[in-house]
Structure 1
């Protein structure tokens, strides 16, 4: 097959930038923003929140890193509602962009019926796909490219007739820029919702996540750099759920027990939110003791707000701080009647965002054979290593360490070392350079770089290089996960 002359250039550009990843950061219901991070399970570490999921066999595949832990809020949606998902390259700054242009690939949205949107871990059987899009041959664009065109948004409709109750909603992006090297990069997150519906239908079959995709499948090893791609693109995962042909009567027991939303509601005396935290109005007071008690309680809530702030930031916490300072000032001025502006809504005015219309799925053949939804067992949390480790272990050790050259493209092995590379000093078990624990700990190849605590000596220098590259990046990040 003829290879485009520009493809190697694009691939090299992709391999030379760092940290151009993405995160599902905000949910819109029928055009209404639910708030930054509200109702969404997110990674706890903002520094790595936009990284791809490290393994297709990891429990992180269900709802992302730390996604087995539910959040306090559950958003309400109607049958047939349009849901829009906002992706961000920087979780706390939507103006920066959504995802790097090099991260080309398909998108999908899955649902899972659960008894509790907060307590269910998300892993295991029960997932079904309601929408997907791969490569639009008529437009000549991948779904992720359309996402960029729409300022980081994609929209889908909730199928009519579904059984009401609690669901996890899981948007998914798959970046294929390194898929031909054995590194498909999935980005997934889950929103917790309550579906208001009189319907009774659920799909006949569902899939298990993790387990619905694997390495070396046509969809996860697809080469996007070929001048003539092997189209049509074979979508990963099952076929899209079609109510008219795939529905069955839902679980009657759940229908009886889930007539009304009882979890994840915002308290009636909440006056501001930040992610899934609610600022609760202070009790009224009219004396000095009551005033200073309110101040103490206010600052305690402020601490909780910052402690629980998601990667999308703490702007609501700053507003709440202003309220606490007002109370302090009033107490200091011997004005003991308060709190000031009692029950005033402190949430900022929501900025109107132009959202794309929900489009019909452009689904593939659903090459995965879905398991029966009757299977309720949760698979063990294991990590995929076979395909990639085979590649790493096939690397021959050099006879003379002086023959090693420093990696300029982020890979290691076959005479190429990570030591001294701007990508990081550690050579992972999969043959890629980096400086995090994922590269430098278990499976690290000391023949082609440093391992364990050794990399800490140069960590500051690498962080400086990475920050510089982020500021001037061109093309895209093909940051190869270990």
Structure 2
């Protein structure tokens, strides 16, 4: 009912997405699991690289598919990218280095009950992000997440659902991002976007850095 997760047979397939170890959330901003998924409590710390990359041009739009999202799990949807080595992402782990930049974010619409993840509560809905048109060509790891806030009125309470996929970006762009952040490290338990009462009619501050702009 949430996102797709990986059975042992699925993990043997070659693909662009790094494996997701289960359907449950990450609940700590300090665990490596908050980067691309993982299940440290069960002995699986973080995720592992995928074998393949999808090719996409800078400036193009990528559509991601989620399983039907529970209508109680309101929250922001945030997308980051990190530049991989020139040899690709297939053997690279970001660790705790500051390599991530934000390319899209969506939160709450004013004080209404409409959130960035609201469209995902309808079957067969997708979520789109655009690769910055000025971005230098090369290999990139994309981190996409929903933060469910239905129990975030105290910490721990926010539920993180991250997933990562690997791209080879083409084009004539020359720009590399600055003001990079580490994940874990970009979020704090005291951030107003992490500890937040979603049942109150109040504005919402999306956590993390500002969105990269060309």
TM-score normalized with structure 1 length: 0.39
Tell me the distance in 1 between the aligned counterparts of 2:116 and 2:199.
Answer: 16
Equivalent residue of 1:117, what SS?
coil
Q: Structure 2 regions of 5+ residues with no counterpart?
A: 7-12, 39-43
Match for residue 101 of structure 1? Answer: 71
Residues 61 and 131 in structure 2, CA contact (< 8 A), matched pair in contact too? yes
Change (3 A) 1:122 1:68: farther
2:98 equivalent to 1:119: no
Match for residue 34 of structure 2? Answer: 61
2:16 equivalent to 1:39: yes
Residue in structure 2 matching 1:81, options 31, 56, 60: 60
1:69 CA drift (Å): 1.3
Residues 68 and 120 in structure 1, CA contact (< 8 A), matched pair in contact too? no
2:205 equivalent to 1:234: yes
2:143 equivalent to 1:162: no
Cα deviations by residue, 1:181-233 (Å, 9 ceiling, x for unpaired): 3211011010011001221101221100000001122101110112xx221x1
Tell me the distance in 2 between the aligned counterparts of 1:138 and 1:215.
Answer: 22
Residues 24 and 189 in structure 1, CA contact (< 8 A), matched pair in contact too? no
1:239 CA drift (Å): 0.7
Match for residue 202 of structure 1? Answer: 176
1:37 CA drift (Å): 8.3
Cα deviations by residue, 1:43-65 (Å, 9 ceiling, x for unpaired): 34xxxx11111421111111111
Equivalent residue of 1:130, what SS?
strand
Change (3 A) 1:173 1:149: same
Residues 86 and 152 in structure 1, CA contact (< 8 A), matched pair in contact too? yes
Match for residue 369 of structure 1? Answer: none
Tell me the distance in 2 between the aligned counterparts of 1:37 and 1:137.
Answer: 42
Structure 1 stretches (4+) deviating beyond 4 angstroms?
none
1:23 CA drift (Å): 4.2
Measured on the aligned residues, the alpha-carbon RMSD in Å equals: 2.1
Tell me the distance in 1 between the aligned counterparts of 2:109 and 2:98.
Answer: 30
Tell me the distance in 2 between the aligned counterparts of 1:54 and 1:224.
Answer: 17
Change (3 A) 1:53 1:23: farther
1:21 CA drift (Å): 3.8
2:119 equivalent to 1:146: yes
Cα deviations by residue, 1:327-363 (Å, 9 ceiling, x for unpaired): xxxxxxxxxxxxxxxxxxxxxxxxxxxxxxxxxxxxx
Tell me the distance in 2 between the aligned counterparts of 1:42 and 1:127.
Answer: 19
Residues 76 and 148 in structure 2, CA contact (< 8 A), matched pair in contact too? yes
Q: Which has the higher contact order (CA 8 A, sep 6+)?
A: 2
TM-score normalized with structure 2 length: 0.85
Q: Structure 1 regions of 5+ residues with no counterpart?
A: 1-19, 26-35, 89-97, 244-482
Residue in structure 1 matching 2:167, options 184, 193, 208: 193
Tell me the distance in 1 between the aligned counterparts of 2:4 and 2:107.
Answer: 19
- The answer to which structure has the higher helix fraction is 1
Give the length in aligned residue pairs: 198
Equivalent residue of 2:167, what SS?
strand
Residues 105 and 144 in structure 1, CA contact (< 8 A), matched pair in contact too? yes
Change (3 A) 1:23 1:132: farther
Match for residue 22 of structure 1? Answer: 3
Change (3 A) 1:24 1:152: farther
Residues 79 and 159 in structure 1, CA contact (< 8 A), matched pair in contact too? yes
Equivalent residue of 1:208, what SS?
coil
